[in-house]
Amino acid sequence: MKRRDFLRVLGVLSGSTLLSACGSKTSKTFVSPILPPEEGVIPGEAYFSPSTCTECPAGCGLSVKRREGWPIKLEGAPGHPINDGGLCIRGQSSLTRLYHPERVETPMLRNDRGKFKAVSWEKAFSLVSESLAGSRDAGRKNLYLSGRTTGSLSRLIDAFCSRLGVERLPEFEVYSHSAVAEANGILFGERDVPRYRIGKADLLLTVGADILATHVSPVSYTRELSRARSREDFRWFHAEPHLSLTGANADRRFVVRPGREAVLLAYLLRQVLDRGPRRSGLPQEAVDALPRFSVGKASEKTGVSAEELAELADRMANARHPLVIAGGVSTSHRGGLEVAALAGMIQWVTGEIPRLVDFARNEKYGGTGTFRDMEALSARLSRGEAGVLFLSRTNPVFSLPGGFAFRENVRNAKLSVAFGDLLDETMQEADLILPLSHSLESWGDVEPRRGVVSLVKPVLAPLYGTLSEGDILLRLMGAVSGEGPATGYRDYLFAEWTKRFGKKGKDAFSRNGFVVEALPGTRVTLNGTKAAALLKDATAEGREPETPVLVLVPSLRTFDGRSRGLPLLSEIPDPLTTISYGRWLSVSPGTAKVLGLKDRMEANVSSGGWSQVFPVKIQPGLAEGVFVASRDFVDSPPLATDGRTGEATWFLEGIRIGKSGRVAAIPILSGSPSQRGRGLIPDPSHRDEKGHHGKESFYPEHEHKGYRWAMAIDLALCNGCSACVAACYIENNVPVVGKKDHLKGREMSWLRIEPFYGETGNVDFLPMLCQQCDSAPCETVCPVFAAYHNPEGLNVQVYNRCVGTRYCSNNCPYKVRRFNWFWHTWRKPLDRMHNPDLEVRGAGVMEKCTFCIQRIRAAKDRAKDDSRKVRDGEVTTACAQSCPTGAITFGNLLDPESKVYRLAHLARAYRVFEGLGTKPSVYYLGGAKGGPEKEGHG
Amino acid sequence: MDKPDKLARVEQDVLSAMKRPGLAYLAALGCTAALFLGLLGFWGYQMKTGMGVSGLMHPVGWGVYITNFVFWVGIAHSGTLISAVLYLFRARFRTSFNRPAEAMTVFALLVAGLFPLIHLGRTWKFYYLFPYPTQRMLWVNFRSPLIWDVFAVSTYLTVSVVFFYVGLIPDFAIVRRYKEGLAKRIYGFLSLGWTGTRRQWKNYNQLYLFLAAFATPLVASVHSVVSWDFAMSIIPGWHTTIFAPYFVAGAIFSGTAMVITLVVPMRKILVLDRYITDDHFESIAKILLFTSLIVTYSYIVEFGLAFYSGNPFEMEEFRYRALGDYTVMFWIMIFCNSLAPLTLFVRSLRRNVKYLFVLSLLVNVGMWVERFVIIVSSLARDFDPYAWGTYTPSIVEVGITLGSFGLFFTAYLLFLKTLPVLSITEIKEHL
Amino acid sequence: MENRMMFQDREEFLSALRNLAREGVPQERIRVETPYYVHEVDEILPTSPAKVKNFSLLGAASGTVFGFAFTILTSLSWPLIVGGKPIVSIPPFIIIAFALTILFGALSTFFGFLILARLPSVFGVVPKEEFGNAFVITVEPGETK
Amino acid sequence: MIAYFGVVFLAMAGLAVAWQQAGLSPDQPIAFPHTIHVSKLSLPCNFCHIYVDISRHAGGPPVEKCMSCHKSIATEREEIRKLTRYYEEKRPIEWNRVYSLPDHVYFSHKRHVKAGLDCSECHGMVGAMKKIRRVGSLKMGWCVSCHRARGAPRDCATCHQ
């Protein structure tokens, strides 16, 4: 009877049963290859090969994970001199550039109707070589503009240019740090960004430099910072006009009036001179030129409270190894040069050159040009001086201020040839597009830091008919001279490497993926006269941008905008605002109240003739009168260039804000900016809040067999950089669902960064993932055992058993379970990224973090082969592996020797919502950013 | 007129409902059936495309579908109350309501039974929910309240159907007498060949008594189990000890309202005033009033507990429930379930059938909204503030909800034309 | 040759029945058909009370036993830990057992009734003769003591 | 009503059965006789299935391996000609899977072989099959019954991925 009544319902179902019966993508054939695959390669096993990330100029070392020949994940190369195992969100996502569905596949020529048509390489080469000759005869200049280029490629370009009579222009980087370089040039005769040894400092003062997210070499800095923070005596202060991820993570953050950083530094320099141990003196003339401020005056000018200034001065004076780093927005306004110079002088006076500030290991921004150079170029183009214009790995049309009219002027070149992989604004303006191979498809090397050479090695043949820049140049040279390509770029490189490192060295290089050359230290001395000249009116009035001001900042997710195209990066929310898709304008709470603006309301920002409409996001911790937008959200902003440094000023002064009256649909993923005193992150000042260790269970504990997998996350180290999130997405085939579903609150991320703001605008980041509870509420309510607890303490979700009641998700206090609302698809060839060790979940199935059970399985498999247990550190999760700060530790809680065991038993270890008695396996290490016994920030 | 004619008269009065359907009837049937077909359409679309076509999201994983489930199971309850419990209490007025009430129970349960399936992400795997021996050697998780539901609801449905059918047996025999040819055979078959012999009557009497006895605890148990779907979770606003009695009262409240909604027009159209009198309605109205008071009391207790507990999660939840995104729903609920029924303290209103009808509609709305508020507002504001979100139903969910009413009324209309709408035998007995 | 008495009135019917009883006509020879349950009949011709209740008890009891046995055994056949609760956790199983108690009880009561009432009866589906609302007494032939 | 569902069910059941039968013993691009190689020549399984004891996948023989013998042996046979053609045209041979598991299942040949399981336990007497046909249903119950019998782990996560 009861069966029949439910069968009555079946009438509808039977149809769909047949529909959904055919789902499996398992290949119905298996292949006998012609030859046995290369030695030692076993199907079903993962292999790692060294390479280098080219998503930004930092040049982090990669270890590329391959399965059956296809790269399926990028990981930071352990031991690499730059990133030592860590890899940022952009680096992780670089894989989606390789498999991007919209990559340029063949050379494309603009036909007379302005449309692009595919052409053969031969055609392209002959065309270029003809017009090279042609324009030379016509007295036009052939020009070569590229993004920052280091290593062999740079030398090849030189060779190419000299051989073909092409003028190589200064490289164009949006963030070329020219103010800092310029200042160092003036003061020390080293026009470059030095290497900062943060790890060795005991006091760090960063002024405007967004070292954790976008400044020069973020992962490298982050690593060093973690090292420094592990020392009790280390303190880190950050001064900036706006709020950046870096500021959010400093021990204490000072909000400086835009453009007044110089006053702060001048005050500090004076204090150091007066009180500090003056390891190396400042020439008298400079001392005299240095303006003198009382604490009160300085505080009044900078907007930093007198107490804080005083304390900062004390610490600066008493620190053994203080390090001051100026950069970013603080050196990109009219007073930027002075700010940089003052920082340099403090470095000099405190005698930390060359110990902490090493010019021998420059970050190699010397050769990089400035906006001034681009202004010049634009002018030359407008005069029609240019014959063939090569534009390689650079997007000036998008990046340059509207005033430069670069878009229009490019058209004046006789033939503009753009190299690139995804069609960007500049390529669209070009006459000829030459598609570049992804770095995973090509040979090469980079030298991101002087003496540090990192290998770029292909892991697969180009997916399309693309070439590496090196091959293009060589073949062009061949085409011009008519004798065809001399050698491939690969052979060229091998020759180069053998020349540089010797035979043995070369093999070691291609094995390890990097070389660190021994370099002689560079002694620099401070040029007093020039210093004095700089100091004269360093703090003069009227330099600072007038408020209200719109600060344009580099973006954690897209850097200068070059990573915009990568789908994964828009799916992962910005850690400060939790906005995933679209643009927004960050407004301070006070200003918002005054203007009557609320989240998602549209505001019209205008300055001079320029104006643009942004949805508003209220940003706690932002100073009054300061508005922030990511650089790549703004279309051709009216930026000025600083005459002396050539740096663009990233401040739009005296802007006007108006309500447009409309409300925009932007996905703000966080339901509440504050944690409402719910103790997700207990306030370090009163420990007891952390409170009772769970409830007593009514039932006896169940025992664990062999392993109990657990995780410890150090909130004092986590800086919200979201690299772990990207790693998780790629490792676990987590679908990218897009804006529409984000607006509905249907994001699929297994791991998310939850920012929680305090009253003072300080923010803590909480990485939230499945807590693998020992008494999991989700398990009990599942009617079919799809969610259950396995003997190793994992909260397992059996996808194929799940019927999709969503009860588990309802009953999860951490809301980390994700339901597949649709049949998610990956646009080809993105599906190549799929990790074959996991099923791709179909519609109607609940999924969630598994502690990377596939990695655990593999590790146990290895261990079983030589009949032993899995060693501590042998298996780690994707998030832990990628974390640049090393905040995440994974291991076996049953092993008292394991690192995770030690951390889980620290005094500051706690578990979220312990009062609910869920007994999570994820331990968070509370405490202020500065580490255990340090003051909170704010 | 003398007795035997009276008996005949009863038969004719009741059976007159079963004569050829008129145009109005067919039109009504057409509409309801169309709604039901709509449900099937939407459901198919949802299964093909995925649950995403509903408004559900994180953190609100349950919405209109589960609301409907609870609502319809609730409706079922008063049927059993009237037919079984009142039978045990020998409440005379029951006689005029029990047949439509039992019918309502059965149909409501059929509709309710659909929704657990509709809300499944993978409906085509619904059989995983049943404990039957498979080659997988896997069983179900008896610790899950959803499995309790499977057992409670299917038991309830089975017992109700049996009870309903048993009550019909002697009446089938009567209908048989009025029919010819095939119809006669069919009703004869349904009557199991009832002739009203002494043996039959003796055992029948005891059967009916015991079925009533078995059905009675179900009134309490089934909706308790349903309430545990929520009470057994840890969600603030769900995890409450008062849920079981609170839900049972609510169930009877809504069910009684539905009985009125159904019987008032039925009495009018089929001219059954002689058998369903205003006194009967007054007694029903009293039940309505009584349960309304219990429900109101539960509302107060809920808030009391929340704020007395000092538990921040609970407090925020109930603040949100009353003043948050769903505040309108909340106050609709208060008006329909707590305030409006208070008017029943006035005797004249209790006896005013039109008024009762309107009120019953209000209560139906109110109780649906109550379930919605409890389910959605609790999920929307649980522990982790980052994960908070608000849910709005989609067109698909609305369509399916309407469809469920379509199915219910289709069944009810068919019942009017095929079965004796009142228990003839019992009325005779009590003449 | 059996003789049949038909009454339109309940009271007449009862008195007639009383007379028969007084004349000492054995029960098994008296067949009675009524439009609804007339409890006096059982007083006039006393018989043992109905046995349906035994089926109810049997069904209900077996329901309880099966409920517990089923839940416990299936849980043990593939022990899976959920929410840190023991494999055999009785409280939830009580609910299942309760439901099955009612289910089995109700069904067996019904089938018990069918057996005891000799239903469904093939001849009854379309009876040769129907008495409508009449109260009928049929006395089968045989000698009176 | 019941009749209707009866029909639906029978239809579905029939379909399912047909489905299975079809997959049991598909035709192969080359009619490779295990009888000869396994029984006659008694080659060990991992002579051709080279990865069976070092990887999840058993793997098939590289065509080169076949040719190492068949350059000279039985070259006149039609099937061997096919083989040679594959080799000369440098085309890999795409065998039709007889044993295929759904995506959500993790299965490792290595683990089972190392556990001392004989290939025939799951693949039957291959040596006696002129054309390979599947033995065993490859359904969950089929795996589980063996895991039960041998006390192998029955934690869902061992096989479900």
- Residues of chain A positioned with their CB less than 8 A from the CB of C83: 775-777, 779-780, 789
Residues 6+ apart with CB under 8 A from D117: none
Greater confidence (A7 vs A432) lies with A432
C145 in any annotated domain: no
Q: What local confidence, expressed as pLDDT, does residue C1 receive?
A: 55
Q: What is the CA A704 to chain-centroid distance, rounded?
A: 39
Q: What local confidence, expressed as pLDDT, does residue A484 receive?
A: 63
Domain range annotation of chain B: 65-392
Average pLDDT of A58-62? 95
Q: What whole-number distance in Å separates Cα of residue A370 and Cα of residue A643?
A: 10
- Residues of chain A positioned with their CB less than 8 A from the CB of B40: 12
Residues C39 and C61 in one domain: no
pLDDT tens per residue across span A147-199: 999 999 999 999 999 999 999 999 999 999 999 999 999 999 999 999 999 99
Residues C69 and C92 in one domain: yes
- Residues of chain D positioned with their CB less than 8 A from the CB of A29: 94-97
pLDDT tens per residue across span A12-49: 333 333 333 333 344 567 777 777 666 567 888 899 99
Average pLDDT of A867-880? 95
Lowest-pLDDT choice from A100-104, A406-410, B78-82, B343-347 = B78-82
Residues C97 and C128 in one domain: no
Residues C17 and C31 in one domain: yes
Q: What local confidence, expressed as pLDDT, does residue A933 receive?
A: 42
Of B126, B143, B385, the CB nearest to A672: B385
- HSE (side-chain half, CA atoms, 13 Å) at A604: 10
Q: What local confidence, expressed as pLDDT, does residue A799 receive?
A: 95
Taking CA atoms, A15 is separated from A5, A10, A201, D139, in Å, by 18, 9, 69, 23
Helix (H, G, I), strand (E, B) or coil at C85: strand
Name the residue in chain C with its Cα closest to that of B158.
Answer: C103
Lowest-pLDDT choice from A574-578, A689-693, B18-22 = A689-693
Q: What is the CA A897 to chain-centroid distance, rounded?
A: 34
Q: What local confidence, expressed as pLDDT, does residue B137 receive?
A: 84
Q: What local confidence, expressed as pLDDT, does residue B4 receive?
A: 64
Taking CA atoms, B18 is separated from A231, B167, B175, B179, in Å, by 90, 18, 10, 11
Question: D interface mutation test: which of A26, A30, A705, A840 has the most D CBs within 10 A?
Answer: A30
Question: In degrees to the nearest 10, what's the CA dihedral of D93, D99, D104, D108?
Answer: -90
Q: What local confidence, expressed as pLDDT, does residue A928 receive?
A: 61
pLDDT tens per residue across span B8-29: 888 888 888 888 888 999 999 9
Q: What local confidence, expressed as pLDDT, does residue A929 receive?
A: 58
Residues C11 and C66 in one domain: no
pLDDT tens per residue across span B234-287: 999 999 999 999 999 999 999 999 999 999 999 998 888 888 999 999 999 999
C63 in any annotated domain: yes
Domain that holds residue C97: 52-116
Greater confidence (A480 vs A468) lies with A468
C98 contact B CB<8A: yes
- Residues of chain C positioned with their CB less than 8 A from the CB of B105: none
Residue B337 reports pLDDT greater than 80:
yes
> What average pLDDT does chain A have?
90
Strands A610-618 vs A656-663: parallel, antiparallel or unpaired: unpaired
Tokens for A424, please give them: 């960007």
pLDDT tens per residue across span A268-317: 999 999 886 667 788 899 999 999 899 999 999 999 999 999 999 999 98
Q: What whole-number distance in Å separates Cα of residue A258 and Cα of residue A569?
A: 30
Question: B interface mutation test: which of C109, C111, C118 has the most B CBs within 10 A?
Answer: C109
Question: Confidence band (pLDDT; 50, 70, 90) for A57?
Answer: very high
Residue B3 reports pLDDT greater than 70:
no
Strands A108-110 vs A432-435: parallel, antiparallel or unpaired: antiparallel
pLDDT tens per residue across span A320-335: 999 999 999 999 999 9
C144 in any annotated domain: no
- Residues of chain D positioned with their CB less than 8 A from the CB of A801: 156, 160
B125 contact D CB<8A: no
Binary contact (B136, D140; C-beta < 8 A): yes
Residues C107 and C58 in one domain: yes
Binary contact (A803, B126; C-beta < 8 A): yes
Chain length of chain C = 145
Residues C29 and C72 in one domain: no
Residue C11 reports pLDDT greater than 70:
yes
Residues B67 and B372: beta-carbon distance below 8 Å:
yes
> CA angle, B279 as apex, B276 and B280 as ends, to 5°?
45
pLDDT tens per residue across span A225-247: 999 998 888 999 999 999 999 99
Question: A interface mutation test: which of D47, D109, D158, D161 has the most A CBs within 10 A?
Answer: D161
Q: What whole-number distance in Å separates Cα of residue D56 and Cα of residue D107?
A: 6
Lowest-pLDDT choice from A348-362, B376-390, B407-421, D14-28 = D14-28
ipTM: 0.92
Q: What whole-number distance in Å separates Cα of residue A326 and Cα of residue A208?
A: 6
Tokens for C93, please give them: 């199983």
* Of residues A596, A565, A594, A570, the one with CA closest to residue A584: A570
Average pLDDT of D114-119? 92
CB count, 10 Å around CB of A579?
22
Strands A108-110 vs A116-118: parallel, antiparallel or unpaired: antiparallel
Q: What local confidence, expressed as pLDDT, does residue A131 receive?
A: 93
Residues C30 and C60 in one domain: no
- Residues of chain B positioned with their CB less than 8 A from the CB of A777: 233-234
Residues C79 and C104 in one domain: yes
The string over A282-303, giving b where at least 16 C-beta atoms fall within 10 Å of a residue's C-beta and e elsewhere, is: bbeebbebbbebebeebbebbb
Name the residue in chain B with its Cα closest to that of A817.
Answer: B58
CB count, 10 Å around CB of A608?
12
Name the residue in chain D with its Cα closest to that of B135.
Answer: D141
Q: What local confidence, expressed as pLDDT, does residue D4 receive?
A: 58
Taking the CA of residue C40 and the nearest CA in chain A, the distance in Å comes to 37
Tokens for A897, please give them: 């020797």
Q: What local confidence, expressed as pLDDT, does residue B50 receive?
A: 95
Tokens for A21, please give them: 């019966």
Residues B314 and B305: beta-carbon distance below 8 Å:
yes
What backbone torsions phi and psi does residue A764 show, to the nearest 5 degrees? Answer: -115, 145
Q: What is the CA A667 to chain-centroid distance, rounded?
A: 21
Q: Which of residues 115-144 of C touch A (CB under 8 A)?
A: none
The reported pTM is 0.92
pLDDT tens per residue across span A790-826: 999 999 999 999 999 999 999 999 999 999 999 999 9
C10 in any annotated domain: yes
Residue A689 reports pLDDT greater than 60:
no
> What average pLDDT does chain C have?
89
pLDDT tens per residue across span B33-60: 999 999 999 999 999 999 999 999 999 9
* HEC letters along A570-639: HHCCCCCCCECCCCCEEECHHHHHHHCCCCCEEEEEEECCEEEEEEEEECCCCCCCEEEEEHHHCCCCCC
pLDDT tens per residue across span A711-739: 999 999 999 999 999 999 999 999 999 99
B141 contact D CB<8A: no
Strands, sheet with A46-52, edge to edge from the N-terminal-most edge strand = A46-52, A61-67, A70-76
Q: What whole-number distance in Å separates Cα of residue A516 and Cα of residue A500?
A: 12
Average pLDDT of B386-395? 95
Q: What local confidence, expressed as pLDDT, does residue B412 receive?
A: 95
Residues C62 and C106 in one domain: yes
